[in-house]
Amino acid sequence: MSVSPRVVVVRRNTEYDELVARHGTHGQVEFFLSTRGQALGEVERRALAVREALDAVGAAIPLDWRRGVVERGDLTRFLFTPDDVVVVVGQDGLVANVAKYLHGQPVIGVNPDPVVNAGLLCRHRPQDAAELLRAAVAGTAAYEPRAMVQVRADDGQTLTALNEVYVGHVSHQTSRYLLRVGGEPELQASSGVVVGTGTGATGWCRSLWQQRHEPFQLPAPTEPSLAWFVREAWPSPTTRTTQTSGRLDSGLLELEVQSEGMVAFGDGMETDRMELRWGQRVAVSLAERVLRLAG
């Protein structure tokens, strides 16, 4: 007897959910916002859009299929299985949040509110969920392979991200390390190193790239390439600043930790991080796995 497909819906608590959790009741939320000259209407509208999208996705899942729902804050404790079909309902960043926990499962991004969400990754309408799910299970869906970035430490720790990884001090203050990208190592003091993919080229990496007027082009979303940036490198009698950015089309960006308190985390999820110690070595590269995003 064959096992029915399982659809896992990934969601995030809305602003309204968080406000009610903090203040207790709808009325208290309304009063709190009014004391700051804000109205509840737009917050309620966005929350309603998310609820309606979740209802539409739920209704699109056949009754004889298995289903699960996981909130963003519970992703670290949720066990995805190889045959899952993952439906992300929310902002584009939610796809990045879940991508690191997947190993080739198809991902369908549903945009509940095109008024405020760009829809670069969550690009589908809720009403299209039924057709997309059938195609994913039948193996006929078209996918866009999104490159991912990986950090591997010499003690066996690994971390994968869709947008970018940060390696530096936990509080973003000065960190010291030896950096090597193909050539001679360079001792640096900076506020950390950011290595991003083509998907991440619309966020943190683009900000760094534009701010510094870099001559190279950022990777395209599906391109198997990375861009890297050293943040605020500081020259001194012992530290240098000749290697602060570039493309990483192959090979490794290697760091040897020279100060305490350094960490590595991906896609802004600072609580899910690797702790790095003095003398430890880490290598940043393209990940072997990719995100399979429904087109």
Instruction: Specify whether 160 is located in the same domain as 123.
Output: no
Confidence category of residue 100, pLDDT binned at 50, 70, 90: very high
Instruction: Specify whether 161 is located in the same domain as 117.
Output: no
pLDDT one-digit tens code per residue, 89-98: 999 999 999 9
Instruction: Specify whether 162 is located in the same domain as 265.
Output: yes
Q: How many angstroms separate the CA atoms of 230 and 188, rounded?
A: 9
- Residue 133 counted as domain residue: yes
Closest CA to 260 of 175, 156, 155: 175
Phi, psi of 134 (to 5 degrees): -60, -40
Q: How many angstroms separate the CA atoms of 199 and 165, rounded?
A: 12
Q: In 10 A of CB 172, how many CB atoms?
A: 13
Confidence category of residue 30, pLDDT binned at 50, 70, 90: confident
Instruction: Specify whether 171 is located in the same domain as 102.
Output: no
Exposure of 122 by Cβ count < 10 A (0-12 exposed, 13-18 middle, 19+ buried)? buried
Instruction: Specify whether 48 is located in the same domain as 91.
Output: yes
* Of the residues 86, 106, 141, the one at which a domain ends: 141
Q: Which domain holds residue 185?
A: 149-288
Q: Quote the tokens at residue 268.
A: 């802004």
Instruction: Specify whether 161 is located in the same domain as 251.
Output: yes
- Residue 294 counted as domain residue: no
* Mean model confidence pLDDT for the chain: 93
* Of the residues 141, 167, 190, the one at which a domain ends: 141
Instruction: Specify whether 154 is located in the same domain as 276.
Output: yes
CATH number at residue 264: 2.60.200.30
Q: Angle at which helices 41-60 and 129-138 pack, to 10 degrees?
A: 40
Confidence category of residue 295, pLDDT binned at 50, 70, 90: confident
Instruction: Specify whether 176 is located in the same domain as 203.
Output: yes
Q: What percent of the chain has pLDDT over 70?
A: 99
If one counts the domains in the chain, the total is 2
- Residue 119 counted as domain residue: yes
Q: How many angstroms separate the CA atoms of 44 and 40, rounded?
A: 6
Instruction: Specify whether 112 is located in the same domain as 179.
Output: no
pLDDT at 256: 97
- Residue 273 counted as domain residue: yes
Closest CA to 141 of 152, 131, 154, 150: 131
User: What does pTM read for this prediction?
Assistant: 0.89
pLDDT one-digit tens code per residue, 199-244: 999 888 999 999 988 899 999 989 999 999 999 999 999 999 999 9
- Residue 56 counted as domain residue: yes
pLDDT one-digit tens code per residue, 139-191: 999 999 999 999 999 999 999 999 999 999 999 999 999 999 988 899 999 99
Instruction: Specify whether 137 is located in the same domain as 159.
Output: no
pLDDT at 271: 85
Instruction: Specify whether 155 is located in the same domain as 133.
Output: no
* Of the residues 124, 141, 158, the one at which a domain ends: 141
Q: How many angstroms separate the CA atoms of 232 and 75, rounded?
A: 33
Contact 58, 11 (CB under 8 A): no
Lowest pLDDT segment from 8-12, 111-115, 202-206: 202-206
SS3 of 221-259: the string is: CCCCCEEEEECCCCCCCCCCCCCCEEEECCCCEEEEECC
Exposure of 76 by Cβ count < 10 A (0-12 exposed, 13-18 middle, 19+ buried)? exposed
Mean pLDDT of 238-261: 94
Instruction: Specify whether 133 is located in the same domain as 182.
Output: no
- Does the structure show a pLDDT above 80 at 1? no
pLDDT at 269: 85
Residues 38-47: contacts with CB under 8 Å, at least 24 apart: 43/14, 43/15, 43/16, 43/19, 44/16, 46/14, 46/15, 46/16, 46/113, 46/116, 47/14, 47/15, 47/16, 47/17
